[in-house]
């Protein structure tokens, strides 16, 4: 593809190069042809007007309330929420008493929409503060304080506001803002702190060298923790964050990403138990930036092993746990589930055959809930290094308290194939481990042999 993306080299220099003869028209035609060939192969020239209706079919107002699909937006948002921590059943909250809602993202209509939100209109979105107010009505007293700016780093603020005032900065001193939030927390029965990244910190051209929550917000969290009140963190972010300290400080943590137009109402549904969270992480959350890359499907390594000192020469960090803080596929519920040992239909499998792996899942909690049962496979010995596990199947199930269900995953030769050194997509005979559980770390194991 001879294509210039997001720079000015072609527009600035190509006309002059053509005029001077350093680039010929034949070369330009050839480069253009490469781009058009791709569009042709994609079928873009079959009917260039296939997605355009008559002019009279265009909506009079593209942002009309009737076009927002709020019910669907709310459902999608609450299904995406991931419960990361819930110490002593802090959640769900009661719709009574006094609730302090704090944080720079608690009342931000723009940030809840996230980046690349197309032509969305910020003033049509529901913030977390508004969602909580909608949920409790007159049943509870809500105290609000911003508590901190997104960041106190002026250079970062200038970057985020390069094209528009996307981040609004409170001119008060950081300590004055924290003091206001602490005062609200002391009057409350529980504190909900909405923290994380602004939408502009998590999109194209917004890489970070540090993936902790900005220091201004970390100072706020520390001050709120010192009040001794139950502390619920509602995270907004577009990347995995390093949350070791926050995990220690918070009583409950919700990962809400950027939940969209109905985000505030959806998050409130989860906070107050009108919806039992069932979301799972599609990524691993590292303990620190130094762990990156951290992912569940990593390869085994060949570090030398000394049986006399087995903990010396390993692939582990010596100053931190080796695994992620929250693993791929992780996500809690307001109920609990147990998974039985793995049962295999056969200890061996022919190349044209199939093995079925099954577990029995039980809701051992007190309320109905859903979870995603995940099946991973490991090719133990192969002609080239293979991941320690790979997700090969999953099923979302909903169970009432005490209810049990058998979940089965059929495994055929296609699930065992990989691209070998000869660039052939094939499966090799040998032992395969089967892991089934509620995330990539908490699993039960079985094994079979491919003949």
- Would you state the pLDDT for residue 50? 67
Q: In residues, how long is the chain? A: 451
Rounded Cα gap, residues 425 and 415, in angstroms: 11
- Would you state the pLDDT for residue 116? 78
CA separation, residue 305 to residues 172, 302, 323, 385 (Å):
57, 9, 20, 18
- Would you state the pLDDT for residue 306? 74
Rounded Cα gap, residues 271 and 106, in angstroms: 14
SS3 193: strand
- Would you state the pLDDT for residue 117? 65
- Kindly state the tokens that stand for 302: 């060949």
Rounded Cα gap, residues 300 and 428, in angstroms: 18
Cβ atoms within 10 A of the Cβ of 161, count?
Answer: 15
Q: Where are the domains of the chain?
A: 1-58, 70-271, 337-450
DSSP for 385-436 reads --BS-EEEEEEEEEE-TT-EEEEEEEE-GGGG-EE-TTS-EE--SEEEEEEE
- Kindly state the tokens that stand for 360: 């029995």
- Would you state the pLDDT for residue 46? 85
- Would you state the pLDDT for residue 51? 65
- Would you state the pLDDT for residue 10? 85
Tell me if the bond preceding 293 is cis, omega within 30° of 0.
yes
Which residues fall within 8 angstroms of residue 230, CB to CB, at 6 or more apart? 90, 189, 190, 191, 251, 252
- 189-221 tens-digit pLDDT: 999 999 999 999 988 889 999 999 999 999 999
Identify which of 104, 222, 86, 225 has the alpha carbon closest to the alpha carbon of residue 169. Answer: 104
140-145/97-102 β-pairing: parallel
Rounded mean pLDDT for each run of 10 residues along the chain, 451 residues in total: 79 93 95 92 81 76 87 97 98 98 97 81 95 98 98 95 92 98 99 97 89 98 98 98 98 98 98 98 96 91 74 76 94 98 98 98 98 98 95 98 98 97 96 98 98 97
Rounded Cα gap, residues 106 and 277, in angstroms: 20
348-349/443-450 β-pairing: parallel
CA separation, residue 360 to residues 299, 342, 365, 406 (Å):
30, 8, 15, 4
Q: Are 95 and 274 in contact (CB under 8 A)?
A: no
- Would you state the pLDDT for residue 59? 80
Q: Which residue reads 């970057």 in tokens? A: 159
CA of residue 9 relative to chain centroid, distance? 36
In degrees, to the nearest 5, what angle opens at C-alpha 169 toward C-alphas 166 and 173? 165
Question: Per CATH, is 70-271 categorized as 3.40.50.1700?
Answer: yes
**Four-residue CA torsion sign, 180, 256, 295, 328:** positive
- The residues with which 83 forms a beta bridge, in sequence order, are 254, 332
Q: Are 365 and 431 in contact (CB under 8 A)?
A: no
CATH class of 337-450: mainly beta
DSSP state of 213: P
- Would you state the pLDDT for residue 304? 66
């Amino acid at each position: 593809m001879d294509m210039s993306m997001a720079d000015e080299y072609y527009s600035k220099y190509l006309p002059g190069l053509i005029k001077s003869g350093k680039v010929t028209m034949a070369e330009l035609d050839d480069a253009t042809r490469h781009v058009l060939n791709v569009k042709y192969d994609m079928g873009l020239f079959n009917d260039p007007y296939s997605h355009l209706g008559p002019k009279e079919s265009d909506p009079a107002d593209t942002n009309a309330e009737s076009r927002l699909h709020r019910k669907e937006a709310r459902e999608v948002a609450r299904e995406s929420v991931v419960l990361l921590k819930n110490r002593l059943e802090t959640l769900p909250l009661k719709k009574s008493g006094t609730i302090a809602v704090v944080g720079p993202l608690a009342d931000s209509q723009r940030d809840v929409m996230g980046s690349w939100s197309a032509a969305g209109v910020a003033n049509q979105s529901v913030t977390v503060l508004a969602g909580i107010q909608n949920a409790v009505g007159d049943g509870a007293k809500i105290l609000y304080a911003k508590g901190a700016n997104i960041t106190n780093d002026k250079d970062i603020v200038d970057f985020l506001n390069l094209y528009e005032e996307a981040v609004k900065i409170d001119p008060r001193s950081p300590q004055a803002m924290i003091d206001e939030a602490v005062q609200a927390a002391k009057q409350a029965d529980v504190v909900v702190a909405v923290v994380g990244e602004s939408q502009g910190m998590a999109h194209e051209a917004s890489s970070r060298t540090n993936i902790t929550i900005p220091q201004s917000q970390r100072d706020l969290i520390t001050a709120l923790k010192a009040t001794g009140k139950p502390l619920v963190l509602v995270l907004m972010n577009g990347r995995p964050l390093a949350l070791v300290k926050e995990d220690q400080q918070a009583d409950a943590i919700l990962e809400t990403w950027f939940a969209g137009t109905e985000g505030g109402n959806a998050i409130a549904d989860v906070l107050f138990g009108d919806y039992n969270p069932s979301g799972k992480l599609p990524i691993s959350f590292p303990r620190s930036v130094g762990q990156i890359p951290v992912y569940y499907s990593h390869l085994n390594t060949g570090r030398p092993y000394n049986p006399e000192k087995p903990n010396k020469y390993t692939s582990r960090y010596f100053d931190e746990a080796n695994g992620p803080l929250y693993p791929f596929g992780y996500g809690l519920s307001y109920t609990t589930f147990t998974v039985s040992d793995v049962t295999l239909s056969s200890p061996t499998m022919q190349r044209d055959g199939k093995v079925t792996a099954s577990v029995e899942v039980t809701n051992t909690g007190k309320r109905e809930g859903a979870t995603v049962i995940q099946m991973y496979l490991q090719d133990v010995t192969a002609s080239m290094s293979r991941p320690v596990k790979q997700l090969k199947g999953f099923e979302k199930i909903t169970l009432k308290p005490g209810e049990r269900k058998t979940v089965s995953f059929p495994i055929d030769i296609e699930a065992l194939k990989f691209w070998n050194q000869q660039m052939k997509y094939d499966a090799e005979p040998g032992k395969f481990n089967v892991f089934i559980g509620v995330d990539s770390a908490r699993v039960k194991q079985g094994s079979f042999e491919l003949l």
